[in-house]
A = this chain, B = another copy of it.
């Protein structure tokens, strides 16, 4: 019986053309984040099911690829439910593993700790075009810094990286969970309904203020409160300076320092961040994950409908492992979307080294063979790319194929020696 040549459902093989682009982008990511003082770390791809099911994963917790117990621990006859049979799972993001890692090693790590992670994650999502069940994530996080230096550094590092990859004219949308909450609470909505409200608010992009108003009323919220709430958002849309309008309105219903800190993030990023993107206050930005506690942000690319990355502050996650709060803030690049955009735009990696193919005829004597490899070695020592390959009978066709692969020079070694 022949084996199955296809990758498992929903996962993909990466072909050389895509791999060249991925490596190029990863190089820029590594070198740029290093300039910002981020250090790379890695955690195992498998985490315990208890950790993965800690509620910080939200909907992703339903999509875990579970690892079966092994040996004596696997008791099939006695098993009642999935978790009797499994003890681990493939990580669905890099945040839960990072927080575990930091909790485990904080004594050995710098404080604040600036981490860069690039690694695969797995989600047993319904397969669909352009979305795979294994994909790369690329996260930077700062742990142990409660100040807004963390947010500013994360946004500058991410936007500098995106700029060096070649992206222009994108937007960073920024908001703060505390602003989001204060706006809703000030309009009289109850604490326990906030998540429901935010899910509707999040659709502002697609359905506009009228749509959001209609959905809130349909959901049973009091029309007066809804109108007051929608009024604030209309006000911000029309204001010359929406940040000032919003923060003035909220006044001291915001915790002390939140408004100033938010304004500083915006002014510092605008001043230092370059003109290849815009930083925009988006009071409707929600970001799905429930663990965010402060600033939140998202990358929006004109070439692409959805988000190409995002993040925010999550000051209460480390305490799930250690019992002690540690301030934390992170920014994740939508690596796979970026690669997809580059592939679709016909992007070519700039300035690859010249490539030479040595075609060696079958039956060359051992002495000639030795000279081929000596010459190749000395060229490679200079950093040149040399392919040593058997000469085909149809040399012309072989050279055409090699030219298509990027080989620009050829050298031929025949049976009687170099012709």
Interface residues of A (CB under 8 A from B): 2-8, 11-16, 19-20, 22-23, 30-32, 34-37, 39-48, 50-51, 54, 65-68, 70, 74, 76, 79-82, 85-88, 90, 100-101, 103-105, 108-112, 114, 120, 122, 124, 134, 145, 147, 149, 152-153, 156, 160, 260, 263-264, 267-269, 271-274, 320-323, 355, 357, 360, 362, 366, 369-370, 372-374, 376-377, 380, 383-390, 401-402, 405
**B35 and A3 within 8 A (CB):** no
**A370 and B272 within 8 A (CB):** yes
CB distance from A379 to the nearest CB of B (A): 8
CB distance from A81 to the nearest CB of B (A): 7
- Complex interface: chain B residues within 8 A of A373 (CB): 152, 156, 268-269, 271-272
**A134 and B44 within 8 A (CB):** yes
- Complex interface: chain B residues within 8 A of A376 (CB): 156, 272
For A370, give its contact among B2, B101, B114, B271 (CB under 8 Å).
B271
With A13-B105, A103-B5 known as contacts, the answer to whether A405 contacts B271 (CB < 8 A) is no
Q: Which 10 A-B pairs have the closest CB atoms?
A: A37-B387, A272-B373, A11-B44, A14-B42, A5-B104, A16-B39, A271-B370, A35-B380, A66-B68, A272-B377
CB distance from A43 to the nearest CB of B (A): 5
- Complex interface: chain B residues within 8 A of A120 (CB): 45
- Complex interface: chain B residues within 8 A of A20 (CB): 39-40
* This protein's copies in its complex: 2
**A46 and B11 within 8 A (CB):** yes
CB distance from A124 to the nearest CB of B (A): 5
- Complex interface: chain B residues within 8 A of A46 (CB): 8, 11, 65, 122, 134
- Complex interface: chain B residues within 8 A of A360 (CB): 149
**B377 and A274 within 8 A (CB):** yes
**A76 and B68 within 8 A (CB):** no
**A41 and B23 within 8 A (CB):** no
**B65 and A76 within 8 A (CB):** no
5 A-B contacts (beta carbon < 8 Å): A3-B100, A5-B103, A13-B44, A35-B383, A65-B67
- Complex interface: chain B residues within 8 A of A147 (CB): 362, 390
CB distance from A42 to the nearest CB of B (A): 4
Complex formed: what's the CA distance from A2 to B51 in Å?
Answer: 9
CB distance from A89 to the nearest CB of B (A): 9
- Complex interface: chain B residues within 8 A of A401 (CB): 110-111
- Complex interface: chain B residues within 8 A of A50 (CB): 3-4
CB distance from A18 to the nearest CB of B (A): 9
Residue from A31, A100, A360 with most neighbouring chain B CB atoms (10 Å): A100
For A36, give its contact among B31, B101, B380 (CB under 8 Å).
B380
- Complex interface: chain B residues within 8 A of A30 (CB): 23
- Complex interface: chain B residues within 8 A of A80 (CB): 76
With A37-B387, A45-B45, A390-B147 known as contacts, the answer to whether A76 contacts B67 (CB < 8 A) is no
Closest partner residue, chain B, to A142 (CB atom)? B389
With A30-B23, A377-B273 known as contacts, the answer to whether A45 contacts B134 (CB < 8 A) is yes
**A36 and B386 within 8 A (CB):** yes
For A82, give its contact among B2, B68, B323, B362 (CB under 8 Å).
B68
